[in-house]
């Protein structure tokens, strides 16, 4: 997103345009009027990454315009980043410039922060890192009061930890999350809270057990678990599964079973097409669960055709989408068996065309 697009004074008008576009796109599926959740116009992103540009003694954060990957655009300020990242950027830049070892062949910097005030910086290099790098990076981490991880080809150096700790207040309870660097996390923390609360509101009249696909680090899983008897949550990423299990344990949640399966594999298991040893640790047979609701938060490509058919067998579907186009494609099929009961729009990405959507589908 070009920073020239960032215009807080025009935020409301830009949001109205996006809302109108998504409403028009989904109109054929007769959604009710949507709940629209706004973002803060600035300081909303908890993640940021920049290429580092070396020119003589200068060291700059840069980005590249779409269609012009060779011309660096220096980034002096980054108003969409959270305040912790904004404040850290110039401090880190000045210290890297003054340290020949830490800046040598430094290629990229990534920031990961939380609403709880925990921040991790990943420094990515085009050279091998050694114990002297560790020593200098530890001093820098101590000075900036952050965690630092170093990466280069086939190398990852963890000085203390490679994750941040997040705390999210959801419906009168605070949930604690461990978020690993370079694993997926929701970028807009406050909008994410409203998404989770909306998903929980969708469960008010639902019964039985829950199947969750693409559960990530348990962002939705933990609060949703309070609303169902049992939950089977699935995810393919090893890092995300690890985080989700740690998050379940730290929050004392006992009714969730984590299984490392892709959506396609879950579809095969549900249809009896394949038997997976990874399901052997479930306390009961998959067929013995009362799986009446499915929660999905797929990548931008949406649900594949097989998964689409599988979720259509559920009484209720809670669908969070980061791509209205693929949501519309899935709804073209699902609307034959389900109606949209609830509809919400979450502006996770101000000043872009992207809009996060939520629909609750109930079987006809």
DSSP assignment of 147-166: EEEEEETTEEEESS-SEEEE
**pLDDT of 47 above 90:** yes
Contact 362, 338 (CB under 8 A): yes
Its sign, for the CA torsion 193, 199, 204, 207, is negative
DSSP 355: -
| pLDDT at residue 3 greater than cutoff 80 | no
158: β partners? 149
pTM: 0.95
Q: Say what the pLDDT of residue 281 is.
A: 86
Evaluate whether 46 touches 82 at the Cβ level (below 8 Å): yes
Tokens of 53: 């540009």
pLDDT at 309 over 90: yes
Q: What is the pLDDT of residue 341?
A: 98
Sketch out the chain's domains with CATH numbers.
Answer: 3-41+186-363 (3.40.50.150), 47-164 (2.40.50.1070)
Q: Is the pLDDT of residue 7 over 90?
A: yes
Above 90 in pLDDT, residue 121? yes
Helix, strand or coil, per DSSP, at residue 5: helix
pLDDT value of position 65 = 87
State the average pLDDT over residues 131-137: 98
User: Looking at 82, 202, 215, 322, which residue is catalytic?
Assistant: 322
DSSP type of residue 325: H
Average pLDDT over residues 326-349: 97
Q: What digits encode the pLDDT tens for the residues 226-261? A: 999 999 999 999 999 999 999 999 999 999 999 999
Percent of the chain with pLDDT over 90: 93
Please say if the pLDDT value at position 2 is more than 70. Answer: no
Tokens of residue 124, six digits? 């990515």
Which token pair is 40? 């803060």
Tell me the pLDDT band of 209, cut-offs 50, 70 and 90.
very high
> Can you tell me the distance from the alpha carbon of 66 to that of 81, in angstroms, rounded to the nearest whole number?
20
The answer to whether residues 274 and 281 touch, using CB atoms and an 8 Å cutoff, is no
Percent of the chain with pLDDT over 70: 99
- Asked if 322 is an active-site residue, the reply is yes
Length of the chain: 364
Q: Which residue has the tokens 């049992």?
A: 230
Cα separation, 33 vs 23, whole angstroms:
9
**pLDDT over 70 at 1, yes or no:** no
6-34 average pLDDT score: 96
Is pLDDT at 327 greater than 80 in this prediction?
yes
φ, ψ at 201 (rounded to 5°): -60, -30
Q: Is the pLDDT of residue 96 over 80?
A: yes
Q: Please tell me what DSSP assigns to residue 38.
A: P
Ranges of H-type helices in the chain: 11-26, 83-97, 100-103, 131-144, 189-201, 221-224, 238-250, 263-270, 305-311, 324-334
Mean pLDDT confidence for 289-311? 96
- The reported pLDDT for the residue numbered 66 is 84
Average pLDDT, the chain: 96
356 noted as active-site residue: yes
């Amino acid at each position: 997103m070009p920073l020239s697009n960032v215009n807080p004074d025009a935020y409301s008008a830009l949001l109205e345009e996006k809302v109108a576009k998504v409403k028009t796109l989904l109109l054929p599926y007769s959604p009710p009027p949507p709940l629209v959740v706004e973002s803060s116009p600035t300081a909303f992103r908890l993640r940021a990454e920049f290429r580092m540009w070396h020119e003589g003694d200068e060291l700059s954060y840069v980005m590249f315009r779409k269609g012009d990957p060779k011309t660096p655009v220096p980034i002096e300020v980054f108003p969409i980043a959270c305040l912790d990242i904004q404040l850290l950027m110039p401090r880190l830049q000045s210290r890297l410039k003054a340290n020949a070892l830490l800046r040598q062949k430094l290629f990229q910097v990534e920031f990961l922060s939380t609403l709880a005030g925990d921040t991790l910086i990943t420094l990515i290099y085009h050279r091998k890192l050694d114990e002297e790098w560790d020593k200098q990076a530890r001093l820098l981490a101590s000075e900036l009061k952050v965690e630092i991880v170093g990466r280069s080809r086939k190398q990852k150096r963890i000085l203390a930890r490679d994750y941040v700790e997040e705390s999210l207040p959801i419906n009168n309870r605070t949930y604690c999350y461990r978020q690993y660097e370079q694993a997926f996390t929701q970028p807009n923390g406050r909008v994410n809270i409203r998404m989770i609360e909306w998903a929980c509101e969708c469960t008010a009249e639902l019964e039985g057990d829950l199947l969750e696909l693409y559960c990530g680090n348990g962002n939705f899983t933990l609060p949703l678990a309070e609303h169902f008897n049992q939950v089977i949550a699935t995810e393919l990423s090893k890092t995300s599964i690890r985080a989700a299990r740690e998050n379940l344990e730290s929050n004392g949640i006992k009714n969730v079973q984590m299984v490392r399966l892709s959506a396609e594999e879950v579809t095969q298991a549900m249809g009896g097409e394949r038997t997976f040893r990874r399901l052997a640790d479930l306390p009961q047979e998959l067929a013995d669960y009362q799986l009446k609701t499915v929660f999905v938060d797929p990548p931008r490509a949406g649900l594949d055709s097989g998964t689409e058919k599988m979720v259509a067998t559920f009484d209720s579907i809670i669908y969070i989408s980061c791509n209205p186009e693929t949501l519309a494609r899935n709804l073209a099929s699902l609307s034959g068996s389900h109606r949209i009961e609830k509809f919400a729009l979450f502006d996770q990405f101000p000043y872009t065309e992207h809009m996060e959507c939520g629909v609750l589908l109930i079987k006809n």
